[in-house]
Each structure stands twice: as structure tokens, then as C-alpha cells.
């Protein structure tokens, strides 16, 4: 007996007759109701869209039109765009420009036609603000807008927008500034020399790089001036472009002075490229570098570049030259010389870190901290000297973070110094709390020097006061190691 017949027999036994085909009947009823509901929903939606479209056709409310330009229905968006053209409202330009890359082809075309139509009735200057959005269409993936965009920009220029675009090249909005620069270049609104100069002097990395790519198009009689501007750019990528343009992978009598100046550039890759090109051509780069450094006619940035070059070239007397600059009067030079010396003489790293931590300049002391984090070791006496001479709590705590008992000894030194000088204790409460919470110190033992510092008069009592709610935990930790506060 098949399964359906078994079910019918079962119902027959219960009800005394064959059951109606309830499931089929109910399914048909549900399907009919769903179909009617969908028809009603679609009909209601169509009716509402038709009413909205009818309202749009006569509306003079710009806000309503603006909302409908972004409506979910493509029909409504298309009608709203057409109505915007009839109203001639320039406040709707940005919304229309956004629809140029709409997912519905008919809406895209309507937006393009609308912008062209509005260009004949709205002042051209009103379109300048949407240039960045339109320029973004160059990267659109949904459709290729390049041909239409270039044609629209040509029409905009002919309609009187050229002066506004040129003015926007120096405006405060960097997006508009960049888009206007590209439009001015593509449609030759300014001479090439002027375009390149404006880009190089803009202070904008994107515009400066675009300008550097145009150096070969600058007239010969203006080229040296533009190359000189590019070589002085604050952006390394632009200076590198000028170097590549001038050098062209060769050393010539007219370009060699430029290459020697580039040897002292602050950007490492550019400096190395120039040095390699000169060295490969038989020039003694190291000797020239030493001569310029000894002459003393260069600024601190160039001195740092020259020292870096000597270290990079691995010259035998680099250590001796660097040693002369670790006591230079210029802070940035001292810091750089110490770091380079530690790099080429790892065996002296401890000594160099100690000297750096005792330097009067915080910038140089940061070099000492960095060397310690990279493995250099300085004694607690040096840390105490840093605190006593310069009161640099931050540097001292950073160095002593290497070991738990060094940290608590450093905190004690800070407290002692503040007590003697009647100064603020600095922000030692948080480091003290972290030390108490960290159980690592329970697994190690303090040295005699640690104990001697912690036993100094008044230090333990003041530390106990600063512990606040964690006084008991601090007392227990110290007691475990034979130190009574």
C-alpha cells in the first residue's frame, strides 16, 4: 500500500469517510491570497509612483525635487532630473552629477543631458564646485564616461568657466584644487610652464608629482628654473623625479654639480642613488663628502645627510668622523651622530646610550632610550644621573622597564629627588600601581643596589603613601624580600 493510501485509510478509520484534500485546498487558498496581496502591493506602489511623478511634473519645490533625484525608483529619478532642468536650480547640480554614474542606463543618460542643458542657462561658475565629482567619473567601473566628461569640460571652458577653474587651483578645498589642476592641464588653460610651477609650489604632494611628470614638456628656456624648483621640493618623490630627469642614468659636465648637491639630500634612497651614479662614474664620493663636512658651509640637515652617507658607504674612518659630531652644538646633529655611531659600532652601544641619556637635550636622551629598548644596557647610576641633572622621569622609567626591581628603584629615585627639591612627584602613581599588580617581581630578587636605594630615608614611607588603596599589597611584596616600609 502506498503512503498516500495509508494516510487516507487512517483518516477514514477516524472520521468514517475519506478526508477532503485539506492540504491541497489550503495551499491553493494561501497561494491565491499571496497573489492577490502582491497584486495589491504592486498596484499600490505603481499608483503611488504615478502620483509622485504627476506631482513632480508641476512642483516648484526644490527640496522635493532634490529628494526625488535620489528616489529608489529609476522612473522617479529620471522625471526629477528633467524637472530640475525646467526649474534651472543650480543647487541641484551636485545631485544630478551624482546620477551620471547611476545603475540605470536611462537615468545616467538623463543626468548627462540635464547637465548639458543646464550649462546653457546656469552660469558656468556654478559648475566648478561639481568638478571633483565629475572628475571622479574617470575611475567609474559601471560605464566609461571619459569621452563625455572631456566633452563636457570643453563646453564648460567655452561657456566661461576657465577663469573660475584657474582660480580654484589655489582654493582652500584640496579636492577642488586637485580636480581644477587636472582640468587646467588637460584643456591647456595655462601655459605648460605655469602649470608646472603652480603644481611644484602648491604644497600638495599629488599636484607636485603631476607637475614633476611634465618637466619634459616645459620649454627648454624655462626647464632649468622648473627643475631647480622641483629639486627644492619638500616631497622626496618630487626631488627624486627631478634627479631622474636631470641625471638620466649618466654623469655629464652640466649635470654633475646637481648630482653632488643631491648627495646631501635628506632622503636616503635619493642620496644613495646619486652617490652610486657618481661612484660608478669614477668619482670619489666619500672624499668629497668628508671635504664638504670639514668645510662647515652646510646646514644641519645636510650634515646629517653627509654623516648618513659615510655610514652607508662603510668608510673606515666613519667612526672617527661621527665621534667629532656627538658633541656638536646642534641637537639634531648630536642625536643623529649618536644613533649612526651605535649602528656601525654595536660594541659601543652601552657607552653611547649612557652618553645620550646624560645629554641636556630631551631629543638626544630619546636616542638613549631607543638604544636601551634595542638591547643597550645602562647602570642605575646613569639613570640616577639623568634624573638628577635633567629630571627626565619619562626617560628613566622607559629605561628601567627592562626589569621589575629596576622599575621600583627608579620610582624610589624619583620620589627621593622630588622630596629633596620640594617638587611634584611626577606621574609615578600609575607606574607604582602597575608594579604592584605585576607579580613578576615575586619571582626575582632585588640586588644590593636596589635594596640600598629602597632603604634610603623617607623613600619607603612616601612610596607607601603614594600606593593608596594598594598599600597592603605593596607592604606584603616588599616584606617577602626582606624590605620593610
Q: State mean pLDDT over 138-151.
A: 90
Distances in whole angstroms, Cα of residue 23 to Cα of each of 27, 150, 263, 336, 471: 6, 65, 89, 87, 77
Q: Is 384 helix (H, G, I), strand (E, B) or coil?
A: helix
- Output the pTM of the full model: 0.74
Return left, alpha or beta for 230; rule: phi > 0 is left, psi -120 to 50 is alpha, else beta. Answer: alpha
Q: Determine whether 41 is exposed, middle or buried from the number of CB atoms within 10 Å of its CB (0-12, 13-18, 19+).
A: exposed
Residues 221-226: contacts with CB under 8 Å, at least 24 apart: 222/193, 226/193, 226/196, 226/197, 226/200
| pLDDT for residue 338 | 96
Q: State mean pLDDT over 76-86.
A: 85
Q: Cβ(376)–Cβ(350) under 8 Å?
A: yes
% of residues, the chain, pLDDT over 70: 87
Q: Cβ(146)–Cβ(186) under 8 Å?
A: no
Residue 112 has pLDDT above 60, yes or no: yes
The region of weakest confidence among 55-69, 263-277, 345-359 is 55-69
Q: State mean pLDDT over 452-467.
A: 85
Helical ranges in 296-437 per DSSP H: 300-313, 318-325, 331-344, 349-357, 362-373, 380-390, 393-400, 404-421, 429-437
Read off the C-alpha cell for 423: 617638587
| pLDDT for residue 350 | 96
| Euclidean distance between CA atoms 185 and 134, whole angstroms | 16
CATH number of 254-377: 1.25.10.10
Q: Which residue did the predictor score with more confidence, 320 or 47?
A: 320
Q: Please give the angle made by the CA atoms of 175, 179 and 182, to the nearest 5 degrees.
A: 145
| pLDDT for residue 253 | 83
Q: Do domains 49-122 and 254-377 have the same CATH topology?
A: yes
| pLDDT for residue 16 | 53
Of 453, 456, 404, give the one whose Cα is nearest residue 432: 404
| Euclidean distance between CA atoms 378 and 8, whole angstroms | 95
Fold topology of 49-122: 1.25.10
Return the domain boundaries, the chain.
Answer: 49-122, 254-377, 379-484
Distances in whole angstroms, Cα of residue 278 to Cα of each of 238, 259, 263, 271, 320: 21, 8, 9, 11, 24
- The Cβ-side half-sphere exposure at 95, using a 13 Å CA radius, reads 22
Q: Cβ(404)–Cβ(410) under 8 Å?
A: no
The band of 201, judged by pLDDT with boundaries at 50, 70 and 90, is very high
- The Cβ-side half-sphere exposure at 421, using a 13 Å CA radius, reads 15
The band of 36, judged by pLDDT with boundaries at 50, 70 and 90, is very low
Average pLDDT of the chain, as a whole number: 86
Q: Cβ(112)–Cβ(100) under 8 Å?
A: yes
Q: Which residue did the predictor score with more confidence, 248 or 95?
A: 95
What is the per-residue pLDDT across 319-373, written as a single tens digit (0 to 9) for each?
A: 889 999 999 999 999 999 999 999 999 999 999 999 999 999 999 999 999 999 9
Q: Cβ(306)–Cβ(275) under 8 Å?
A: no
The band of 43, judged by pLDDT with boundaries at 50, 70 and 90, is very low
| Euclidean distance between CA atoms 386 and 414, whole angstroms | 11
What is the per-residue pLDDT across 4-28, written as a single tens digit (0 to 9) for each?
A: 555 555 545 555 554 555 445 544 5
- Phi/psi at 166 (nearest 5 deg)? -65, -40
Q: Which residue did the predictor score with more confidence, 178 or 85?
A: 178
Residue 403 has pLDDT above 70, yes or no: yes
What is the per-residue pLDDT across 214-238, written as a single tens digit (0 to 9) for each?
A: 999 999 999 999 999 999 999 999 9
Amino acid at each position: 500500500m502506498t503512503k498516500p493510501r495509508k494516510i487516507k485509510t487512517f483518516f477514514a478509520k477516524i472520521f468514517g469517510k475519506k478526508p477532503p484534500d485539506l492540504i491541497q485546498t489550503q495551499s491553493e487558498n494561501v497561494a491565491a491570497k499571496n497573489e492577490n496581496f502582491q497584486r495589491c502591493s504592486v498596484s499600490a506602489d505603481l499608483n503611488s509612483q504615478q502620483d509622485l511623478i504627476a506631482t513632480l511634473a508641476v512642483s516648484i519645490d526644490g527640496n522635493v525635487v532634490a529628494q526625488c533625484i535620489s528616489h529608489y525608483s529609476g522612473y522617479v529619478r529620471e522625471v526629477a532630473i528633467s524637472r530640475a532642468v525646467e526649474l534651472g536650480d543650480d543647487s541641484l547640480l551636485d545631485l544630478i552629477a551624482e546620477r551620471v554614474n547611476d545603475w540605470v542606463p536611462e537615468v545616467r543618460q538623463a543626468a548627462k543631458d540635464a547637465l548639458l542643458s543646464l550649462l546653457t542657462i546656469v552660469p558656468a561658475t556654478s559648475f566648478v564646485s561639481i568638478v571633483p565629482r565629475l572628475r571622479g567619473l574617470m575611475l567609474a567601473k559601471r560605464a566609461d564616461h571619459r569621452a563625455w566628461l572631456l566633452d563636457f569640460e570643453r563646453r564648460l571652458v567655452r561657456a566661461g568657466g576657465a577663469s573660475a577653474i584657474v582660480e580654484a587651483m589655489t582654493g582652500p578645498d584640496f579636492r577642488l584644487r586637485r580636480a581644477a589642476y587636472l582640468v587646467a592641464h588637460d584643456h591647456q588653460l595655462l601655459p605648460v610652464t605655469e602649470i608646472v610651477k603652480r603644481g611644484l609650489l602648491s604644497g600638495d604632494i599629488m599636484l607636485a608629482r603631476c607637475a614633476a611628470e611634465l618637466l619634459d614638456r616645459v620649454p627648454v628656456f624655462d626647464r632649468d628654473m622648473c627643475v631647480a624648483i622641483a629639486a627644492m621640493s619638500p616631497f622626496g618623490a618630487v626631488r627624486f623625479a627631478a634627479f631622474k630627469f636631470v641625471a638620466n642614468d649618466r654623469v655629464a659636465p652640466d649635470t654633475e654639480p646637481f648630482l653632488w648637491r643631491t648627495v646631501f639630500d635628506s632622503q636616503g634612497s635619493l642620496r644613495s642613488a646619486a652617490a652610486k651614479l657618481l661612484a660608478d662614474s669614477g668619482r670619489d664620493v666619500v672624499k668629497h663628502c668628508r671635504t664638504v663636512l670639514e668645510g662647515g658651509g652646510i646646514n644641519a640637515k645636510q650634515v646629517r645627510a653627509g654623516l648618513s652617507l659615510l655610514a652607508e658607504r662603510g668608510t673606515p674612518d666613519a667612526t672617527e668622523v661621527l665621534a667629532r659630531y656627538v658633541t656638536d652644538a646642534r641637537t639634531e646633529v648630536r642625536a643623529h651622530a649618536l644613533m649612526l655611531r651605535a649602528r656601525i659600532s654595536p660594541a659601543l652601544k652601552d657607552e653611547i646610550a649612557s652618553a645620550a641619556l646624560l645629554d641636556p637635550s630631551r631629543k638626544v636622551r630619546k636616542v638613549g632610550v631607543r638604544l636601551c629598548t634595542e638591547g643597550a644596557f645602562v647602570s642605575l647610576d646613569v639613570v640616577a644621573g639623568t634624573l638628577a641633572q635633567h629630571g627626565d622621569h619619562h626617560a628613566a622609567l622607559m629605561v628601567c622597564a627592562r626589569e621589575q626591581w629596576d622599575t621600583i628603584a627608579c620610582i624610589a629615585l624619583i620620589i627621593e629627588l622630588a622630596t629633596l627639591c620640594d617638587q611634584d612627584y611626577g606621574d609615578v602613581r600609575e607606574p607604582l600601581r602597575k608594579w604592584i599588580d605585576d607579580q613578576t617581581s615575586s619571582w626575582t630578587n632585588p640586588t644590593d643596589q636596589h635594596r640600598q636605594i629602597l632603604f634610603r630615608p623617607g623613600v619607603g614611607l612616601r612610596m607607601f603613601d603614594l600606593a593608596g588603596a594598594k598599600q597592603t599589597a605593596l607592604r606584603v611584596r616588599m616584606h617577602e624580600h626582606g624590605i620593610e616600609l
